[in-house]
């Protein structure tokens, strides 16, 4: 394993992040604060408790997940697409490193950025909402798993994308709806039976449910099911990435 190379990619990517630190943090912090004000404050005060917790507290895990998932995807997809776009990726291809090292560097950096932003959102939430975390270790584990698996997904997206539109279309058309319909702002049990069944096909439901469980001890689906679902998703992404590098798809001519 060429750890020096992994570290180089990782550090270089983190530089990019810290160079634009204001934009990196400001946008997600502002938008989540707005969510808290609008949903937690204005609307939340008219909604009864969900699963025994206030509505404002209920949406905290979902909002963090929303941010971590979108950040993971955009960081990783941009991180790999940008060198492809600039042509600097040829240097990576000519380096004495394997695809595992390339993925560890890029996905590691993208996941780290998403985690940092997730942590900032969590801290921001404490300013607006009164809540506590029952199982901090499980919460961290869920955050790490989520950021890694969606960074892997973002990596695939970035390799696939041929232009900036394609880079944005998938998150916009697929991921955002999945997250919004994944129980960020409501409990699945509040839905009519038919929609509850449909929701079970949405992988994000399992994530948010598991994540919320780590906060409040209650979940829409069993915690084990959540873990299996996220493990499965990670496995699929890894397989696709392995295939990409084996065949050189969209990478090596």
Partner 1 sequence: MPDIVQINELRKSYKGGFQALKGINLAIRRGEILALLGPNGAGKTTLISTICGITTATSGTVTVDGHDIVANYRAARSIIGLVPQEINLEPFERVINTVRFSRGLFGKPSDDAAIEKVLRQLSLWDKKDNQVRELSGGMKRRVLIAKALAHDPRVLFLDEPTAGVDVELRKDMWDIVAKLKADGVTIILTTHYIEEAEAIADRVGVIANGELMLVEDKDTLMARMGQKQLDVLLTDPITEIPAALQSDALELSEDGTTLIYTYDTRSERTGITKLLADVAAAGLVLRDVQTRQSSLEDIFVGLVKEDAA
Residues that bind partner 1 (CB under 8 A): 2, 4-5, 7-9, 11-12, 15-16, 19, 83, 86-88, 90-97, 248, 252-253
Identity of the residue, 55 or 81, whose beta carbon is nearer to partner 1 in the bound complex? 81
What's the min distance (Å) between Cβ of 41 and partner 1? 39
Identity of the residue, 88 or 132, whose beta carbon is nearer to partner 1 in the bound complex? 88
Identity of the residue, 18 or 126, whose beta carbon is nearer to partner 1 in the bound complex? 18
What would the DSSP string read from start to end of 167-202? HHHHIIIIIHHHHHTTTSSS-GGGS-HHHHHHHTT-
Q: Do residues 69 and 178 make contact, with C-beta atoms less than 8 angstroms apart?
A: no
Spatial separation of the C-alpha atoms in residues 30 and 63, rounded to whole Å: 12
What's the min distance (Å) between Cβ of 95 and partner 1? 5
Identity of the residue, 89 or 216, whose beta carbon is nearer to partner 1 in the bound complex? 89
What's the min distance (Å) between Cβ of 14 and partner 1? 11
What's the min distance (Å) between Cβ of 98 and partner 1? 8
What's the min distance (Å) between Cβ of 4 and partner 1? 5
What's the min distance (Å) between Cβ of 23 and partner 1? 13
What's the min distance (Å) between Cβ of 91 and partner 1? 7
Identity of the residue, 104 or 188, whose beta carbon is nearer to partner 1 in the bound complex? 104
Spatial separation of the C-alpha atoms in residues 154 and 165, rounded to whole Å: 14
Quick one: which of 87, 84, 98 has its CA closest to 6?
A: 98
Structure tokens belonging to residue 195: 């929609």
Q: Do residues 177 and 205 make contact, with C-beta atoms less than 8 angstroms apart?
A: no
Identity of the residue, 9 or 68, whose beta carbon is nearer to partner 1 in the bound complex? 9
- Where do the H-state alpha helices sit in the chain? 3-19, 21-35, 55-86, 89-94, 99-128, 136-160, 164-170, 176-180, 193-199, 203-216, 223-247
**The CA-based dihedral angle spanning residues 246, 251, 252, 253, taken in that order and rounded to the nearest 10 degrees:** 120
Structure tokens belonging to residue 4: 């020096």
Identity of the residue, 33 or 250, whose beta carbon is nearer to partner 1 in the bound complex? 250
Look up tokens 């971590």; give the residue: 68
């Amino acid at each position: 394993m060429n750890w020096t190379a992994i570290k180089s990619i990782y550090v270089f990517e983190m530089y990019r992040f810290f160079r634009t630190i204001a934009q990196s943090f400001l946008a997600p912090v502002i938008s989540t604060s707005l969510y808290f004000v609008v949903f937690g404050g204005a609307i939340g005060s008219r909604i009864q408790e969900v699963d025994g917790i206030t509505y404002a507290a209920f949406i905290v895990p979902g909002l963090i997940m929303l941010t971590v998932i979108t950040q993971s995807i955009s960081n990783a997809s941009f991180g790999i697409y940008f060198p492809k776009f600039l042509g600097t990726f040829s240097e990576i291809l000519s380096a004495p490193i394997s695809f595992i090292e390339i993925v560890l560097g890029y996905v590691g950096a993208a996941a780290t950025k998403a985690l940092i932003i997730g942590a900032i959102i969590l801290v921001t939430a404490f300013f607006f909402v009164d809540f506590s975390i029952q199982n901090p270790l499980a919460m961290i584990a869920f955050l790490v798993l989520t950021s890694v698996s969606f960074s892997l997904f973002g990596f695939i997206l970035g390799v696939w994308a041929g232009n900036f539109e394609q880079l944005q279309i998938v998150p916009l058309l697929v991921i955002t709806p999945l997250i919004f319909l994944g129980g960020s702002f409501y409990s699945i049990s509040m839905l009519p039976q038919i929609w509850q069944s449909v929701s079970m096909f949405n992988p994000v439901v399992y994530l948010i449910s598991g994540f919320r469980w780590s906060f409040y001890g209650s979940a829409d689906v069993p915690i084990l099911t959540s873990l299996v679902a996220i493990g499965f998703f990670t496995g699929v992404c890894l397989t696709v990435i392995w295939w990409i590098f084996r065949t050189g798809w969209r990478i090596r001519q």
